[in-house]
Structures are given as structure tokens and as C-alpha cells.
Chains A and B, each alone.
Chain A
Amino acid sequence: MEVILNVINFILNNSSRILEYTINHFSLVFTVLGFSLVLWITVGLLISKYDRYAGSVIGLANIIFVIPSISLFGIFVTIPQLGLGRKSAALALILYAMMPLVRNVYRGVKSVDQSVLESGRGMGMSDTEILFQIQIPMAWPVVFAGIRVTAVMITGMATVATFIGERNLGRLIHHGITRGNEDIIIAGAVVVSLIALMLDFILGKVEKKLTSPGLRQSG
């Protein structure tokens, strides 16, 4: 009980600082999401068309994904064009987003029933029409699952970017650790979790709006 009160007190007493961190956190997450969606959905669609590259591209995404984030941030900082701060942080996070996005787009497009494609082609739909009118709408639920995972994951990982100069909610947690103050650690963690939950909730609503009711039935 006391911990909760302390955390609330801390948040209230430091509201302007926390607000600044939150805004920075958000802006990093949105930048990364924006670039990642355009880039990785395109790559996902390309490898589902040019199947022979699918294995190596997804393999690469997996390899990147298992690199510990702190070391990837560290490596980018040493590259002069990137350096400390936003560029390195964003680039590393965009690379982490590759795996959940590319894989889900590929899986989604590939899971479209062969008979539906066959009948589309048989009715005279061109490749582009099949892609935009059949494959993408039908892959949408799987793609969106990937987008939600990515959003939540990026929100959490962004905290680590505090070590390379990002002034975001990770800094709060970092301060808490260095000062041995669990109230600050919990405050930081709670705010980050709330952001992640909120993003997931909003994306869930968007998904529902954008998914055809014909695909929503489960059995």
C-alpha cells in the first residue's frame, strides 16, 4: 500500500519531467512504427511474390531479432554517421521490428486459400487485383497481429535507448536502479506498460474496423 502511494506521489511531484519523457518515448515509438510499417510490409509482400528470397530474408530477420538490444544500440553509436541519440535508437528498433512484421505479412499472404486465388485468377483478375483485392484483405488479421506485437515490443525496447542518449521513460527506470529507489523504477515501468496497453487497445479497435466481418467468424 505504501509503495503505491509513494509511486503516485513520485509521479505527481515529477509530472513535468515524466510528461517530457513520455512525449519523447511516444515520438520515438511512432517514428519507428511509421518507418517499419512502410518498409517491412513492402518487404513482406515482395518476398511472398518472389518466394525464393523468403527463406533468407526471414532468416536474416530472425538473426537480427536475437541480437541483444543493448549491444545493437552500442554498435550503432560507434558508427560516426549515427552517433548517440535518436538516429541509432530508431534504426536499431526498426531492425527489431523486421521479424514480427515481415514474417506475419508473409505468413498472412501465404495462408490465403488456394481455391480462392484460383477462382480469382479464373475470373480474370490480374496479379495486382489479386494482391489488393484478395491477398492483402485476407492476410489482414495475421498482418495486424504482427503490427500489435511490434507496437508493444517497440514501446518496451525503447526504454533501453536511454543508455544511448534518449531522454525517455527508460531514464526513469535507469535513475531508479542507480539510486536504488524502487518507487522510481515502478513509476517508470507502470507508465511504459500503460502506454503499451493503450497502443494495443487502440490498434485492436482499428483492426476490428479494418477487418471484414466475413473473416471475423471463428468457427
Chain B
Amino acid sequence: MVKIIKGAVHDMIRLEKVYKTFPNTTVPAVDKISFTIEKGNICVFVGPSGCGKTTILRMINRLVEPTGGSIYIDGENIMETDADQLRRRIGYVIQQIGLLPHRTIGQNVGLVPRLLKWPEDRINKRVMELLEIVGLDPRETARKYPYQLSGGQMQRAGVARALAVDPPIMLMDEPFGAVDPIVRGHLQDEFLRLQQEVKKTICFVTHDINEALKMGDYIVVLNAGKLVQKGTPLEMLSDPANDFVKDLIGDDRGVKLLDLTRAESLLQASTSETDKAVRECSCYIDAVQPVKMALEVMMKNNSDVVGIRRGSEVVGTLSWTEIKQHINKISGDQ
């Protein structure tokens, strides 16, 4: 599998045998979980309700204190830092968004900068910039109150607020769970595009395996507080650890693979031959689009190969043979 080469890899978030038992319960909500998240990656925690995914997320910004084990952010043990200071350095987005209803969107987005006592004109500038980034009209929206926004707009405002002081880490708890499927799809796409620019280290909680496969660089599958499997979406689909993971993914693993694998993960370096073919039919897709899109473009243009772009730059190609091999590999062990 071709993995995009990143800069020097280093662990941004590290959990070591993290353990949480809530008062008046005997079964641990999170049971000795260890894993690391590298800088600039999206790590999705997925599993049924009560599997501990939200608890893990909330332990990373100390909204929940672990019973045992340790969590490191950028090498620093979070239990040795001030909780409020820690949280101001971590973006936090929840499903209910939690915009302050008595504050305008502008004030909501500028909340953390204001807590950090930025000068007022710098806050205003940053707010305008952020609203623009998340696709809201800065002039219109900044003055509005949360109740005047649609669900999708509120989610965008929530993301803008979390990005306000440019935190290296974002924690997102089912951030797109409350909007309808069409808007959710849009928000996911836009968020992935945004992530290409901002390169945050992101922990993302969802119960929707499709969302996990789409958004994650890594997926952590959890069940009853235990870590079941950690891997890339591709590894998850092609090599599920056990029946639980298989059930979670569903029976259509092969198709999901095409639907949900980003084109970049099957990306091949272009040769002069493929290069020519691509230029002839001028069929391109974006690196974060699913392989399914590549098939669609191939069928429309009657071509066996498509070019893959990241931004405006062509970074490689994807061919029908490649896709077929991939399906064979998957269905081979099914």
C-alpha cells in the first residue's frame, strides 16, 4: 500500500494503559487502552454506544479524569498540566455544538481568543478569517445569533470556534451527527479538504463505520471498553481482526472499499504511458475522492486510467487494473 510520505513522523497523542471506571460501576468504561496518534493524522474512534469512545476523547482534554494509566500530548503528561490551559490548546467540537445562544456567532468564534486575552482587533480579524475558511459569509454571519442559523451552518460555526487559536489538536465527538445525510456528506468533504491545509491532529468519534472509513487516516475499533483493532481504513476492510469488526463493517466490504477508499490510497506513480492516456481523456479526480468516483469517471470517458490531483497538482494515477487487483485481494479472503 502506498502511504503518503509526511514530514518527520512524531507522536502527538499517546495513551498508555489508560483505564477508567466510573463511580458505582464495576465494569471499566475504558479498559487499559494504549495507542498513539501521529501528528497531522485523523484518528477515528468507532464502536457501538457504550464502547468507551467518547470517554477516551473526554479524557484527552481532561473532561474525564482517567482512573489509571497516562496520556501524553506532545510528550507532556496531561495530568501535570493545568486543565483549563490544556483545553484552550485543544479544539473541541461536539454533536450538540454548544454554541452560546446569548452570544453572536462572531463572539462565539472569538471565545477562546478572548479567554486568552488577544487584542480586540486581532480577534475580529481572526473571526472573519475563520468564518471564511468554514464557508460562512463573514459579514452576514458574525452578527447573527445561533438560533438564526441552520444545523449545517451551526456545525460550521462550531468547527470555526474550535479552530480559533489554531490548536494543533482537535477533538470531535460525532461533529456531523445532527445534520441530515446530504449536509453531512458536504461537511465531511469540506472538512477533509480543510484538513489538507491545516493538518491538525484529530481525534474523531463516530458510531457510523462509513464515516469512520471516510474520515480516518487511522481507525480505532472499540467494544466494551477494549481496543479491538487499530489500523488504516484499508487494513480494516481488507484484514478485519475478528467477527466483531467484520460485523461492524458489514457484508459489502468489497464495495465499501471502492466507495470509501480515498483515491490516494491506491495511487500509483504515473508512467509516461499512463500520463499520456490521462491527458488524452483529461479525466482527473481529487486525491480525497473515493475510488468509486474514479470508476465513474472511467466509465463516462471510456478510459482505463484517471489522474489524481491534490489541489491543482497531479500526483499520480489510478488504473482499472489496480482497482481490479484490489477487489480480488479483498474478495480472495472473504
Interface residues of A (CB under 8 A from B): 113, 115-126, 129, 133-134, 137-138, 140, 212-215, 217
Contacts and interface: CB of A to CB of B under 8 A. Distances in A.
A122 B96 contact: no
B97 A122 contact: no
Given A126-B84, A215-B102, 17 more contacts: A115-B96, A115-B97, A116-B100, A118-B96, A119-B92, A119-B98, A124-B83, A124-B84, A124-B85, A124-B88, A124-B89, A125-B115, A212-B145, A213-B145, A214-B103, A214-B104, A214-B147
A123 B111 CA distance: 8
B94 A119 contact: yes
Contacts of A213: 145
Contacts of A217: 145, 147
A214 B112 contact: no
9 contacts: A116-B99, A118-B96, A122-B98, A124-B89, A125-B84, A129-B115, A137-B102, A138-B102, A212-B145
B51 to A, nearest CB: 20
Interface of B: 61, 63, 83-89, 92, 94, 96-104, 111-112, 115, 145-147, 158, 161-162, 171
A120 B100 contact: yes
Contacts of A116: 98-101
A138 B101 contact: yes
A137 B102 CA distance: 7
A108 B44 CA distance: 37
B97 A124 contact: no
Contact of A118 (B98, B145, B146): B98
B85 A120 contact: no
B125 to A, nearest CB: 20
Nearest to A116: B98
B102 A212 contact: yes
Contacts of A133: 100
A215 B94 contact: no
Contacts of B83: 124
Contacts of A119: 92, 94, 96-99, 158
A122 B63 contact: yes
Contacts of B86: 124
Nearest to A215: B102
A196 B51 CA distance: 58
Given A214-B145, A217-B147, A124 B112 contact: yes
